Amino acid sequence: MELKEKKNNLIKHLIESGYLKTEKVIKAFKDVPRENFVRAGNKNYAYSDTPLSIGFGQTISAPHMVAIMTEHLKPEKTDIVLEVGAGSGYQAAILSGLVMKVYTIELDPNLAEFAKSNLKHSGIKNVEVIQGDGSRGYPEKAPYDKIIITCACHEIPNALIDQLKTGGIIEAPVGSSWRQELIVAIKTKKGLEEKNYGGCIFVPLRH
Ligand code: SAH
């Protein structure tokens, strides 16, 4: 089967399973070539609904997880978004067509380069990859409309809450290194209003 057919089948599966919900997010999935964000030897598996190794002990998240997280973020054309954990750059690429600007931080310098080159190769210009420790956020461009953490944290780092606008959405897999729960929260004047969307598994946030 050709990649194009595999891609259509995957998107159909994500819609039928209820992971992809809104037209514009579906379009973003159609527009971004996931094969550009996996390792050369894995291109044939780019449209399987599984995480894949991207080297350096890290993974590109499964498409359904990217779909779930993107829908929760309620992306708007005017949004400035911060991502912690660029990895392959795929999640940032999906967001790039839905928002104004994405800043994505990656701790591992090799992966920061990988993400940069994947995004460039895909012609994506409104994503900036920053190498560094994302648990401190990126105060240079704060405040953000939305913040997405794509590595597991024990709790949502305070620095990130501080860098989120009031009314903004932050989401993260929160828990231990081996099991987390997907937390989506709105920042109100009184603090975070959290909702728990159940179990998930991400690689841990490191320092
Ligand atoms: N969003 C990615 C997948 C992320 S995997 C994608 O679409 O491919 C989680 C990533 O978080 C890994 O690449 C890991 O190196 C990175 N990471 C771990 N701790 C971090 C930290 N403190 N700051 C920034 N990135 C971190």
**Percentages (nearest 5) of helix, strand, coil residues in the chain:** 35, 30, 35
Q: Give domain status of residue 110, yes or no.
A: yes
Residue at 183 is within a domain: yes
User: How many angstroms is it from 23 CA to the middle of ligand 1?
Assistant: 27
Of the candidates 143, 142, 155, 145, the one whose C-alpha atom is nearest the C-alpha of residue 183 is: 155
Tell me if 131 sits within 8 A of 156, measured CB to CB.
Answer: no
61 is catalytic: yes
Give the range of the structural domain holding residue 140, as residue numbers without chain letter. Answer: 3-200
Model confidence over 138-190: pLDDT tens digits?
999 999 999 999 999 999 999 999 999 999 999 999 999 999 999 999 999 99
pLDDT at 23: 98
* Strand ranges inside 41-79, DSSP E: 52-55, 58-60
Nearest CA to ligand 1 atom 22: 133
Does residue 205 form part of some domain?
Answer: no
Give the domain CATH number at 142.
3.40.50.150
Strand locations in 17-70 (E): 52-55, 58-60
User: By the 8 A CB rule, do 180 and 149 touch?
Assistant: no
Among the options 17, 48, 53, 61, which is catalytic? 61
Domain assignment present for residue 189? The answer is yes
pLDDT at res. 1: 83
Residues within a 6 A CB radius of ligand 1: 58-61, 84-85, 87-88, 90-91, 105-108, 111, 133-135, 150-151, 203, 205-207
Which atom in ligand 1 lies closest to the alpha carbon of residue 205?
19
Taking the chain (207 residues) in consecutive chunks of 10 residues, what is each chunk's mean pLDDT?
A: 96 98 98 98 97 97 98 98 98 98 98 98 98 98 98 97 98 96 98 97 94
> Which residues, 6+ apart, have CB-to-CB distance to 159 below 8 Å?
135, 136, 137, 139
Q: Flag whether 62 is in a domain.
A: yes
Q: How many domains does the chain have?
A: 1
Consecutive H or E run containing 117 = helix 109-121
Residue 138 is encoded by which pair of tokens? 């990126």
